[in-house]
A and B are shown apart, each in its own frame.
Chain A
């Protein structure tokens, strides 16, 4: 090419800059196209070294990267350079180069293309890459923040002993986190099938839980909430509170419910105990305030009468009997109240068992109450051998309560029949009276303390007496029950093991 005839338009006006340099970069020949692109004359360029046309930064790059490459490969392609225009502007260019040896000397043949658009495009790519890298950094930062938040959430869930469950829409498939196994009494986390979980909800609560969830999913409110009991594989029944909230996708349709479960047995028990204590206080006050007032009022009245006028002998006897009867009732109430309080605060009734004869116990109580109620017919029947190991005083107390009730509620003109019956393994005491049967609605609560008659107007403390009867029966390992109807009247039975 060094021999190419000057002025050849194919060379001079080629579609690219064409240069010939020595191995050290000194320009030997340059075409018109290149001169025009840089605004420089041929005289200006020939004899100069190519790298003087580069920026200083470009020169370092050229010397440290491209020149070694060219020397090793003896050719280069698509090297990007910025060359200085005469007016000081920089012209981005792309260079191909090849080393040719002529007469033992190396020459560099260069073809150089203007690359303004490619340069712009590359800058765009570079900026896009920087933006992408920034997005990546942001994304990584978000991921990190998310991971930290998740770790915090897991810690909170762990510390609060919460368990996760979910419901996938639209088919309402439940899913339970393996940790839910702990709630079901398993020693470790394990996969819990939805059917197993719902199967472990106690039967009374299962339908309520399912219908509450269905109702929530049919018309979602702020959040789902339910409390139910589950029977664990360890035999422990736990109270479980369940919460859930619906999540939606971008279009607003519900995708799933995220839920938490919590073992609220402890707080449930504490609340029940607190309610119990409040009830106990209320009941105690009720007994003291109402039931004790009646006998005290009767005694007060008797005392007033004694102070007002002189009485004849029969009147004195009658008044004395009224005072005795009221005092007995007050004493019984106080004894009941003490027993009741002991039983309710968990101290138990306290039995001292000895070998006793059930018939004798019944006979004594009947005799005592017959004296106290001279106008009433009270009969005792004994059947079989009624020897047993029991607390005779307590059994007497229970029978006394039943007989007092029978005298109070039975028709005054009919007898109250008391039977003590020795059976093979148990002793059965029954107290029967005629009269208006017990309202069937009272059956579920009749042995609960402070259960009273249907209207507050003529209530009386039946419940405390029956409560204590039941407590005594249970303390002996026995039970109490009753039958009541219009025809055969009312019979309470205590059945105790020998």
Chain B
């Protein structure tokens, strides 16, 4: 199997340590374009799309394999085998933080540090645990995804507005990121938002940075605090940011927090 094509793998640099950037649900590797450049000087950079997202090989999408996060974790280890000869720092956004953790638990010793951006081990409230959502909310999300069919698959965005501040993002790119098959998106959403990996957290002994936004409805601060409490070698950094994507809306602050973590690590 051609893993490079399957996961649309993009590698740059020749440095000893590789930073592996894994996007979360809803987007693709483009979401790292504001953050990754900060590390290009010192690290080899590997970006990819999960199968079913972005420009991955959609024909490789197997509902059974990707019916749990372990399927994605398995792919991560294949990527490490194929493209990462040395140690890796795994930067995972949202659900990918958990995917990176599962990959590390499955084949320990290859990832020397986890940068978890807006992670959550469980999105649904459960007794005392505050995940941020009720089960009904997740069902509503799935219904929303369904009725936004065009939002996923639209190729016909008319690009009525320019982006005068960023000419490099030509108008033809409007809405062209993060497209995928709507059915796969819905499946990935249910796998993501119904996953529960709280019991795996105590088993991970690799140093981890929890990059928590101050206001994030997807991964509320309470979740970051829970993770910091349960994850053995974790550091919690709260960034002043509203939203779930600090690497996009606060790239400098995010980079600085990651630099601090890497400094201690390497």
**Least distance between A454 CB and chain B CB atoms (Å):** 87
How far is B133's CA from A5's CA once the two chains are assembled, in angstroms? 41
How far is B151's CA from A58's CA once the two chains are assembled, in angstroms? 12
**Least distance between B228 CB and chain A CB atoms (Å):** 22
- Neighbouring A residues of B38 by C-beta, 8 Å: none
Given contacts A49-B242, A96-B160, contact A76 B174 (CB under 8 A): yes
- B 156-192 contacts with A by CB, 8 A: 157-166, 169, 173-175, 177-178
Q: Is A195 an interface residue (CB 8 A)?
A: no
Flag if A51 contacts B161 (CB, 8 Å): no
Q: Is B24 an interface residue (CB 8 A)?
A: yes
How far is B241's CA from A67's CA once the two chains are assembled, in angstroms? 13
Given contacts A74-B169, A77-B157, A101-B165, contact A56 B140 (CB under 8 A): yes
Flag if B149 contacts A63 (CB, 8 Å): no
Flag if A72 contacts B141 (CB, 8 Å): no
- Neighbouring A residues of B154 by C-beta, 8 Å: 78
Given contacts A60-B218, A61-B145, contact A72 B140 (CB under 8 A): no
Q: Is A271 an interface residue (CB 8 A)?
A: no
Contact of A98 (CB < 8 Å), options: B24, B143, B163: B163
Flag if A80 contacts B148 (CB, 8 Å): yes
- A 149-204 contacts with B by CB, 8 A: none
- Neighbouring B residues of A101 by C-beta, 8 Å: 165
**Least distance between B59 CB and chain A CB atoms (Å):** 17
Q: Is A294 an interface residue (CB 8 A)?
A: no
How far is B163's CA from A24's CA once the two chains are assembled, in angstroms? 19
Flag if B31 contacts A73 (CB, 8 Å): no
Given contacts A56-B133, A67-B243, A69-B178, contact A61 B146 (CB under 8 A): no
How far is B94's CA from A79's CA once the two chains are assembled, in angstroms? 23
- Neighbouring A residues of B138 by C-beta, 8 Å: 57
Flag if B94 contacts A61 (CB, 8 Å): no
Flag if A125 contacts B149 (CB, 8 Å): yes
How far is B34's CA from A380's CA once the two chains are assembled, in angstroms? 131
Flag if B177 contacts A73 (CB, 8 Å): yes
- Neighbouring B residues of A67 by C-beta, 8 Å: 243-245, 248-249
Tell me the interface secondary structure of chain A in the complex.
helix
How far is B140's CA from A295's CA once the two chains are assembled, in angstroms? 111
**Least distance between A62 CB and chain B CB atoms (Å):** 9
How far is B157's CA from A71's CA once the two chains are assembled, in angstroms? 17
- Neighbouring B residues of A25 by C-beta, 8 Å: 242-243
How far is B215's CA from A59's CA once the two chains are assembled, in angstroms? 13
Residue of A nearest to B152 (CB): A65
How far is B245's CA from A120's CA once the two chains are assembled, in angstroms? 32
Given contacts A23-B249, A68-B26, A68-B27, contact A55 B144 (CB under 8 A): yes
**Least distance between B178 CB and chain A CB atoms (Å):** 6
How far is B173's CA from A76's CA once the two chains are assembled, in angstroms? 10
A interface residues (Cβ-Cβ under 8 A, vs B)? 23-25, 49, 51, 55-61, 63-69, 71-80, 82, 96, 98-101, 119, 122-123, 125-126, 129
In the complex, 6 of the A-B residue pairs with CB atoms within 8 angstroms, ordered by the A residue number, are A57-B140, A73-B163, A73-B177, A75-B161, A75-B163, A129-B149
